[in-house]
């Protein structure tokens, strides 16, 4: 269950496995010119599972959308050293989309970024969580990651499901302050293909089940306040229903968020990451963007 294709309002579909080449071209262009790129931009990276193998494993390996734990550790460590601000979905919403809260002084001159993982793979617990703990011990920085979860696919207690994580693992990551748990629909259905009744069920029951799992750890009910469309698939009706139950929603479309002129909180772009993207490439994309300051926060060019 990956999000390797995407629909838009016109119903067109982008090519499968659309690469990051355009984004990288953009990065290289600005690097060569050595321009100070001050557009109000936040890169939002979209991962799936985190695997043991190296990224250059043979192409016959079927986990195309998963990412090497060795590469992600390099990537996250570099982001910590370079003073990134790892945003939660609520922070992105408050500080950058609605601008309803003032950015704390301590965060000025930091570079905002979001790291997200879809579909609730168990490896986000077995392989990623230890890396996050290790980096916190080494640098004193907590890397927050956003998990878009389908509660219908969660492993049940005592089950032999080794693919997906369960409520217990979600709670552990939340309790430690690493996981920002958000909704990806109940059963990872293409929402554009459902009747209204089933669409509402996918949206509401997902939120209910995620909050039941986490309620005692989440007094402000921030869990399942934001949404990511399964397969990145949406249309006007889907967006309209999602807006009744969630504050914002994320695409999977290989575009970068320009929050200066961003109007639709239900079409937040994300970059699609697969195992062919090296840590170095991801760092190059992130490093192109300058820290937030008053100028780019309030006078974004559109």
Which position's Cβ is nearest Zn ion?
118
Binding of residue 6 to Zn ion (CB under 5 A): no
Binding of residue 3 to Zn ion (CB under 5 A): yes
Q: Please identify, using beta-carbon distances, which residue of 166 and 232 lies nearer to Zn ion.
A: 232
Binding of residue 202 to Zn ion (CB under 5 A): no
Closest separation in Å from C-beta 227 to Zn ion: 12
Q: Which residues pair with 189 in a beta bridge?
A: none
Q: Please identify, using beta-carbon distances, which residue of 41 and 154 lies nearer to Zn ion.
A: 154
Closest separation in Å from C-beta 148 to Zn ion: 7
**Phi and psi at residue 147, to the nearest 5°:** -110, 125
Window contacting Zn ion (CB under 5 A); options: 110-118, 137-145, 194-202, 234-242:
110-118
Window contacting Zn ion (CB under 5 A); options: 11-19, 37-45, 94-102, 118-126:
118-126
**Phi and psi at residue 235, to the nearest 5°:** -145, -175
Binding of residue 119 to Zn ion (CB under 5 A): yes
Closest separation in Å from C-beta 150 to Zn ion: 7
Q: CA–CA separation, 270 vs 119, rounded Å?
A: 15
Q: Please identify, using beta-carbon distances, which residue of 118 and 169 lies nearer to Zn ion.
A: 118
Closest separation in Å from C-beta 158 to Zn ion: 25
Among 118, 169, 180, 209, binds Zn ion (CB under 5 A): 118
Closest separation in Å from C-beta 228 to Zn ion: 7
Q: Please identify, using beta-carbon distances, which residue of 3 and 281 lies nearer to Zn ion.
A: 3
Q: Please identify, using beta-carbon distances, which residue of 73 and 119 lies nearer to Zn ion.
A: 119
Closest separation in Å from C-beta 231 to Zn ion: 7
Binding of residue 281 to Zn ion (CB under 5 A): no
Window contacting Zn ion (CB under 5 A); options: 34-42, 55-63, 111-119, 196-204:
111-119
Binding of residue 71 to Zn ion (CB under 5 A): no
Q: Which residues bind Zn ion (CB under 5 A)?
A: 3, 118-119
């Amino acid at each position: 269950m990956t999000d390797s294709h995407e629909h838009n309002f016109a119903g067109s579909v982008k090519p499968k496995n659309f690469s990051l080449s355009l984004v990288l071209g953009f990065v290289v262009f600005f690097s060569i010119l050595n321009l100070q790129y001050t557009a109000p931009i936040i890169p939002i990276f979209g991962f799936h599972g985190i695997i043991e193998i190296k990224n250059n494993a043979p192409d016959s390996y079927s986990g195309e959308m998963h990412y090497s734990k060795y590469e992600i550790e390099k990537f996250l460590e570099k982001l910590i050293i370079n003073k990134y601000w790892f945003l939660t979905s609520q922070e992105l919403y408050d500080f950058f989309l609605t601008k309803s809260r003032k950015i704390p002084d301590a965060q000025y001159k930091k570079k905002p970024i979001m790291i997200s993982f879809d579909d609730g793979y168990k490896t986000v617990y077995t392989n990623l969580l230890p890396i996050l703990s290790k980096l916190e011990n080494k640098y004193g920085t907590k890397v927050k990651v956003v998990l878009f979860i389908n509660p219908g696919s969660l492993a049940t207690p005592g089950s032999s499901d080794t693919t997906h994580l369960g409520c217990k693992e979600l709670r552990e990551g939340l309790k430690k302050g690493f996981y920002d748990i958000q909704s990806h629909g109940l059963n990872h259905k293409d929402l554009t293909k459902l009747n209204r009744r089933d669409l509402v069920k996918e949206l509401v029951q997902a939120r209910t089940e995620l909050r039941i799992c986490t309620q005692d750890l989440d007094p402000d009910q921030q869990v399942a306040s934001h949404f990511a469309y399964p397969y990145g698939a949406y249309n006007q009706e889907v967006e309209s229903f999602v807006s009744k139950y969630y504050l914002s929603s994320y695409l999977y479309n290989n575009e970068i968020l320009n929050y200066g002129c961003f109007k639709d909180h239900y079409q937040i772009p994300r970059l699609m990451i697969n195992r062919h993207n090296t840590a170095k490439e991801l760092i190059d994309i992130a490093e192109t963007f300058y820290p937030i300051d008053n100028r780019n926060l309030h006078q974004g060019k559109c």
